[in-house]
Structure 1
Amino acid sequence: MTAVNSGTIEANPLLPGTGRNESLRRAFDLLELLARHPHGASVAELCQDSDLPRSTVSRLLASLFDAGAVSRPGNDRKWVLGPTIMRLTNAVAPLAGLQERSREVLEQITTDIGETSMVAVPTGPATARVIDEVRGPKLVGVLDPWAGETISSAASGFVRMLLAELPEAELDRIISRMELVRHTPKTITDPLLLARAIEDIRRQGHVVVVDELEDGLAGLGYPVRKGGQLVAMLAVYLPTIRFTPELQSKALAVLERGARELGD
């Protein structure tokens, strides 16, 4: 089963503006690729990974180099993330070190559950970015990688969990501006039904989404809090046929334990 990353967005309708800068987006895409190459990547490797022409990659790297966002410290002409990125990373709170700390937690979740696990952080009132994932060992599972994806679909458990954090007036305003896309016959596209689903999340303290983002895909998510504030979300995703009541109960306990390790 392949998970369709249909929540990925280029321009978020919840953050209106006069337009988007395509070069800036591509520059950040390169930074994401470099983050996956801790020992550096050549221009050729970045061209292959990004599907961008060499001239575009070279131009973007030159601009990022001028800003200190990338560097080429060795003699092998490989590019790495630069000091500006390091400073910005260290300045992020309360998320500093979250991705590094979450890797061990995700590996334990996947070991315990035997399914794909992931962690996401809020990027807006109704958008989240998956910062890491650990793939499950089974042949049938979530095939498309989600790490690095920004998700805005209300059919995503991550987005619904964020909506559940909002005051009622803000929630109504956000829902009224969202495009409720029907990904499957079971996707909730009625604002009133979505509001009820969000109320269930508030009452239960976690989110369950089944066959809404993609047919045959189910997921369970749990919030990570620091000082009462939601700073991240843990989740497991798997084929619906394996999403039994027994697995849900076990997954909820494992995710709750992982959230405690990452949070307060």
Structure 2
Amino acid sequence: MPTSSASASTPDAAVKSPGGGVQSLERAFDLLERMADAGGEVGLSELSASSGLPLPTIHRLMRTLVACGYVRQQPNRRYALGPRLIRLGESASRLLGTWARPHLARLVEETGETANMALLDGDEVVYVAQVPSKHSMRMFTEVGRRVLPHSTGVGKALLAGARPDDVRALLARTGMPAATDRTITTPDAFLRALEEVRHQGYAVDDNEQEIGVRCLAVPVPESPTAAAVSISGPAGRVTEAATASIVPVLQEVALALAAELKSTGTAGI
């Protein structure tokens, strides 16, 4: 006797989610994000436990992602993010940088300092956009540069909302080498610094990545990927007194960028 159940009569690819999208696509992207959160490699049982989906469903979705090159199966039968994601990520990062530049230009105009946007890519911070200050001063921040999170203001801003156990795990993987004698080099001290970021609403790199350079950073709220904006300048200009006037501008720019990213993501849908 025919059944009226959509799951029994409709191909999985055509089942609609409550939000009106295609359920299998939503599930596939959710699995990719869970893999990224787990460090890029997981087993099916781990994905089933974290997602609540049955193993046969996960196996079917992963088999499709493997066939498309977005996931690869390791010799140990665990699954890892695949190389085709790299091209997508690089293109998305460039586009994100394009959207960010007008907002960074506002930061430079209002603060006089170099403005940056950075993302958390795996265990590293990568700078994806920059508008330089009119003052001539070369600093470590440049587009494409990768640094470890513990020694930068943007790193602190990006990790401030993370669980302490996840932060400790990241630091265990990367280590905490000292870039200067001001760099935080212990997990406990770094977690205390993150607590301060949450309390005051912004992060500070006070000569911790480069002597003579001070940076202020804030996260971009509700960004589709963890993002932060910052200004960098000589410690003699980015003083405690200047911080009071710079931070509100940073926060306004982060909110404006977040609103643009949200509207861009839904435009035309």
Relative to the length of structure 2, the TM-score reads 0.59
| Residue type of the alignment partner of 2:125 | A
Q: 107, 115, 121: which one pairs with 2:105? A: 107
Give the counterpart of 2:119 among 113, 118, 121: 121
Structure 2 counterparts to residues 53-64 of structure 1, below 5 A: none
RMSD: 3.0
Question: Distance between the aligned counterparts of 2:186 and 2:104, measured in 1?
Answer: 33
Q: State the partner residue of 2:134.
A: 137
Conserved 8 A contact 2:178-2:185: yes
Name 1:192's counterpart in structure 2.
Answer: 188
C-alpha spacing 1:189/1:138, structure 2 compared with 1 (3 Å): same
One of 227, 230, 237 as aligned partner of 1:232: 227
Asked whether the equivalents of residues 214 and 233 of structure 2 are also in contact (C-alpha less than 8 Å), the reply is yes
Letter of the aligned partner of 2:116 in structure 1? Answer: M
Query: Which AA in structure 2 matches 1:242?
Result: R
Runs of 4+ in 1 over 3 A off after TM superposition: 14-17, 87-92, 142-145
Q: What TM-score results when the alignment is normalised by the length of structure 1? A: 0.60
The Cα shift of 1:195 comes to: 1.4
Instruction: Check the 8 A contact 1:223/1:230 in 2, yes or no.
Output: no
Alpha-carbon deviations, 1:148-180, whole Å to 9, x = none? 112224111222222222112222222333311
Question: For each residue in 1:36-80, what CA deviation from the matched residue of structure 2 results, as whole angstroms up to 9, or x when unmatched?
Answer: xxxxxxxxxxxxxxxxxxxxxxxxxxxxxxxxxxxxxxxxxxxxx
SS in 1 for 2:211: coil
Q: Is 1:220 aligned with 2:216?
A: yes
Per-residue deviation, 1:133 = 0.6
Q: 1:163 aligns with which of 159, 181, 184?
A: 159
Alpha carbons 1:153, 1:181 under 8 Å: kept: no
The Cα of 1:121 is off from its aligned counterpart by 1.6
More contact order relative to length (CA 8 Å, sep ≥ 6): 1
Matched, 1:251 2:249: no
**SS of residue paired to 1:148:** coil
Does the 8 A contact of 2:113 with 2:231 survive in 1?
yes
Which amino acid is 1:137 matched to?
K
User: Aligned partners of 1:222 and 1:166: how far apart in 2?
Assistant: 14
Aligned partner letter, 2:159? L
Does the residue aligned with 1:117 lie in a helix, a strand or coil? strand
Q: Are the aligned partners of 1:219 and 1:237 in contact in 2 as well (CA < 8 Å)?
A: yes
Q: Which residue of 2 aligns with 1:263?
A: 258
Query: Secondary structure, in 3 states, of the residue corresponding to 1:243?
Result: coil
Q: Write out per-residue CA displacement over residues 123-151 of structure 1, whole angstroms, 9 at most, x where no aligned residue.
A: 12x42211111111113x33455111122
Deviation string 1:170-223 (CA, Å, 9 cap, x unpaired) is 222223333111121211112221111111112222101101111111000011
Percent identity of paired positions between Structure 1 and Structure 2: 24
Separation in structure 2 between the aligned mates of residue 255 and residue 107 of structure 1, nearest angstrom: 12
SS in 2 for 1:241: coil
* Structure 2 unpaired stretches of 5+: 1-37, 42-83, 260-269
Q: Sort the Cα spacing of 1:90 and 1:115 in 2 relative to 1 into closer, same or farther, 3 A.
A: closer
> What amino acid is aligned across from residue 258 of structure 2 in structure 1?
G
Alignment of 1:23-102 (within 5 A): 88=88, 92=92, 97-102=95-100
AA partner of residue 88 (structure 2): L
Distance in 2, matches of 1:169 and 1:256, equals 27
Q: Distance in 2 between matches of 1:190 and 1:169?
A: 14
Looking at CA atoms only, which structure, 1 or 2, has the larger radius of gyration?
Answer: 2
